[in-house]
């Protein structure tokens, strides 16, 4: 029992390990993102829902991200801590932290569900749901059923990184894929055949989340590197104090998106009402629907970026625990190059093919104002994605090194200080276009800080003699 588990993380080539862990993680996150995106695509192409349903989806989306933020804080923090523990041959800490994370996730999900059900209307209003009466009606229907599935959603998302830390990235991917395919199959049946509208989209999503949660429970009963015991399933406070800070960066990267979307939705509602076109009641929902779609594409790109970085957490954590800083440094360099390539390719797509992108989301059923605003939004809002992906990789890599405070501070600056700040300030100068400028301005300023942190981190990861 003194032999270390997962020793291949210290011996196999860095590139091969990155592909082995990052690809399943990317697919898992993409599939998780597709839950909401698939809903929006089917909703947008249902003539009886259209941009009203799209706007409602945009209103509810950040509220699902709140649940995701709590789940990934628990799951990613536990994943990093378990990986470091296994690298240092501390098996007891590993199994107790996993059991503790399960209990914390269940409690947190039930509390969040209760809050959502009790304060439904107030919460939807806070996120711009009252842009017009039709949008608010669809928002309430969609939100109620999504809330019912919160405990299953959070459990599946929290256990996904834990499963990866046990050396099973492929199972983590498959469990998420199974849920997503269930959603994709049921969405058109419930929306177009049964005509269940927003309720149909939400119920399809929840059923997929239930399947992922069930598969996660099965895996916990059959873990490989870590064996859970009855004593594992308690809130071990001393361990929670160690692993939760390692997930704070993941939490902030998600929760700050919620704050930014709340600011953006409210600025859209305020300055859209002043616009000569979107101030008209029949077009009032268009800016909110469009910005929601643009952010969904960004979510796809950032899921790839986060997946690449998060997939490296077990590798980095193990090698740091094993005192192999040289391998951790090589992995960081490879990660930054890969992230920059992903961001550049995504930027080319949004700059040259925005019309094709918006066509996927029901543009044929909408006015020309919808398409024109969407094309402009894609080109402005997402023009600095190369810097955004590198920034995100830097934050998560620092988290995997155990530098929770530095990672957290950088995330706070990008997502709260810049992300929310510019979303509130720039519309006062540029009106509705100010909402679009807030993203690239935030990414450029954040990169100036990230560049200095990257240089500092590479210097500290000196090759072992």
DSSP codes of every residue in 133-146: HHHHHHHHHHHHHH
Find, among 160, 158, 169, the residue nearest to 74 by Cα.
158
3 found inside a domain:
no
- Report helix, strand or coil for 426: helix
pLDDT over 60 (residue 29):
yes
**Which of the residue ranges 7-11, 12-16, 123-127, 299-303 would you say has the lowest mean pLDDT?**
7-11
Mean pLDDT of 150-168: 91
Q: Which helix (H) or strand (E) holds 347?
A: helix 325-352
| 170 or 385, which is more confident | 385
Instruction: Give pLDDT, residue 463.
Output: 52
Mean pLDDT of 239-254: 83
The DSSP code for 361 is: T
Instruction: Give pLDDT, residue 363.
Output: 66
Our count of domains for the chain comes to 1
CA angle 63, 271, 277 (to 5 degrees): 110
Instruction: Give pLDDT, residue 5.
Output: 54
Phi, psi angle pair for 358, to nearest 5°: -70, -25
CA angle 273, 50, 179 (to 5 degrees): 120
16 found inside a domain:
no
Find, among 391, 388, 393, the residue nearest to 439 by Cα.
388
Give the confidence band of 214 by pLDDT, cuts at 50, 70, 90: very high
362: left (phi over 0), alpha (psi -120 to 50) or beta: left
Instruction: Give pLDDT, residue 83.
Output: 82
Instruction: Give pLDDT, residue 45.
Output: 86
pLDDT tens per residue across span 432-444: 999 999 999 999 9
Helices and strands in the chain, H and E counts:
20, 0
pLDDT over 50 (residue 193):
yes
Mean pLDDT of 193-214: 95
**Which of the residue ranges 211-225, 309-323, 334-348 would you say has the lowest mean pLDDT?**
309-323
Distance CA 36, CA 332 (A): 31
CB 306 within 8 Å of CB 392: yes
Distance CA 158, CA 170 (A): 16
Task: Look at the alpha carbons of 348, 27, 43, 138 in this order and tell me if their dihedral is positive or negative.
Answer: negative
- Report helix, strand or coil for 166: coil
48 found inside a domain:
yes
311 found inside a domain:
yes
For the record, the structure tokens of 24 come out as 């399943």
Give the confidence band of 31 by pLDDT, cuts at 50, 70, 90: confident
Distance CA 382, CA 353 (A): 12
Mean pLDDT of 148-167: 92
Instruction: Give pLDDT, residue 1.
Output: 39
pLDDT tens per residue across span 399-429: 778 787 788 788 889 888 998 999 999 999 9
pLDDT tens per residue across span 81-107: 888 888 778 888 888 999 999 999 999
Instruction: Give pLDDT, residue 3.
Output: 44
| 48 or 362, which is more confident | 48
Distance CA 43, CA 411 (A): 33
12 found inside a domain:
no
| DSSP-derived secondary structure for 35-66 | HHHHHHHHHHT-TTTHHHHHHHHHHHHHHHHH
Distance CA 282, CA 276 (A): 12
Instruction: Give pLDDT, residue 2.
Output: 42
Q: How many CA atoms lie within 13 A of 270 on its CB side?
A: 18
128 found inside a domain:
yes
CB 251 within 8 Å of CB 73: yes
pLDDT over 60 (residue 178):
yes
pLDDT over 90 (residue 230):
no
Mean pLDDT of 449-462: 89
Task: Enumerate the H helices of 149-285 as residue ranges.
Answer: 150-165, 169-188, 197-220, 237-243, 248-272
For the record, the structure tokens of 169 come out as 């990235």
pLDDT over 90 (residue 136):
yes
Instruction: Give pLDDT, residue 119.
Output: 97
Give the confidence band of 170 by pLDDT, cuts at 50, 70, 90: confident
pTM across the whole model: 0.78
Distance CA 258, CA 342 (A): 24
pLDDT over 50 (residue 465):
no
In the chain, % of residues over pLDDT 90: 49
263 found inside a domain:
yes
218 found inside a domain:
yes
pLDDT over 70 (residue 6):
no
Instruction: Give pLDDT, residue 92.
Output: 84
Q: How many CA atoms lie within 13 A of 163 on its CB side?
A: 28
**Which of the residue ranges 29-38, 197-206, 423-432 would you say has the lowest mean pLDDT?**
29-38
Which residues span the domain enclosing 300? 22-460
Mean pLDDT of 135-162: 95
Give the confidence band of 112 by pLDDT, cuts at 50, 70, 90: very high
The mean of the pLDDT values for the chain is 88
């Amino acid at each position: 029992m003194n032999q270390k588990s997962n020793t291949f993380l210290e011996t196999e080539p860095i590139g091969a390990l990155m592909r082995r862990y990052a690809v399943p993680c990317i697919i898992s996150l993409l599939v998780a993102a597709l839950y909401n995106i698939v809903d929006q695509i089917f909703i947008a192409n249902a003539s009886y829902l259209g941009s009203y349903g799209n706007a409602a989806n945009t209103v509810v989306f950040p509220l699902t991200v709140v649940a995701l933020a709590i789940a990934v804080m628990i799951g990613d923090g536990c994943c990093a801590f378990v990986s470091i523990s296994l690298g240092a041959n501390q098996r007891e800490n590993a199994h107790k932290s996993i059991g503790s994370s399960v209990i914390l996730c269940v409690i947190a999900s039930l509390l969040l569900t209760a809050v959502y059900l009790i304060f439904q209307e107030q919460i939807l209003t806070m996120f711009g749901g009252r842009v017009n009466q039709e949008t608010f009606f669809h928002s309430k229907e969609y939100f109620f059923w999504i809330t019912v599935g919160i405990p299953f959603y959070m459990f599946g998302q929290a256990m996904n990184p834990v499963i990866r830390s046990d050396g099973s990235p492929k199972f983590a991917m498959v469990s998420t894929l199974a849920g997503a395919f269930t959603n994709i199959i049921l969405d058109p049946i419930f929306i177009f055949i049964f005509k269940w509208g927003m309720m149909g989209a939400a119920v399809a999503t929840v059923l997929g989340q239930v399947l992922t949660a069930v598969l996660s429970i099965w895996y916990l009963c059959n873990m490989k590197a870590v064996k859970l015991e009855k004593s594992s399933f308690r809130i071990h406070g001393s361990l929670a104090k160690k692993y939760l800070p390692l997930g704070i960066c993941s939490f902030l990267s998600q929760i700050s998106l919620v704050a930014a979307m709340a600011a953006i939705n409210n600025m859209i509602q305020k300055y859209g009402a002043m616009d000569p076109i979107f101030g008209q009641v029949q077009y009032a929902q268009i800016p909110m629907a469009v910005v929601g779609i643009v952010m969904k594409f960004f979510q796809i790109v950032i899921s790839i970026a986060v997946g690449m970085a998060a997939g490296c957490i077990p590798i980095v954590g193990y090698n740091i625990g094993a005192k192999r800083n040289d391998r951790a440094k090589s992995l960081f360099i490879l990660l930054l190059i890969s992230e920059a390539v992903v961001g550049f390719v995504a930027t080319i797509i949004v700059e040259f093919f925005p019309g094709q992108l918006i066509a996927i989301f029901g543009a044929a059923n909408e006015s020309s104002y919808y398409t024109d605003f969407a094309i402009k939004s894609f080109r402005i809002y997402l023009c600095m994605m190369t810097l955004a992906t590198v920034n995100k990789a830097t934050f998560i890599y620092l988290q995997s090194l155990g530098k929770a405070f530095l990672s957290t501070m950088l995330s706070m600056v990008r997502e709260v200080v810049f992300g929310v700040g510019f979303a509130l300030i720039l519309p006062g100068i540029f009106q509705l276009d100010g909402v679009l400028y807030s993203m690239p301005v935030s990414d450029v300023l954040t990169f100036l800080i990230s560049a200095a942190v990257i240089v500092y981190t590479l210097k500290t990861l000196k090759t072992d003699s």
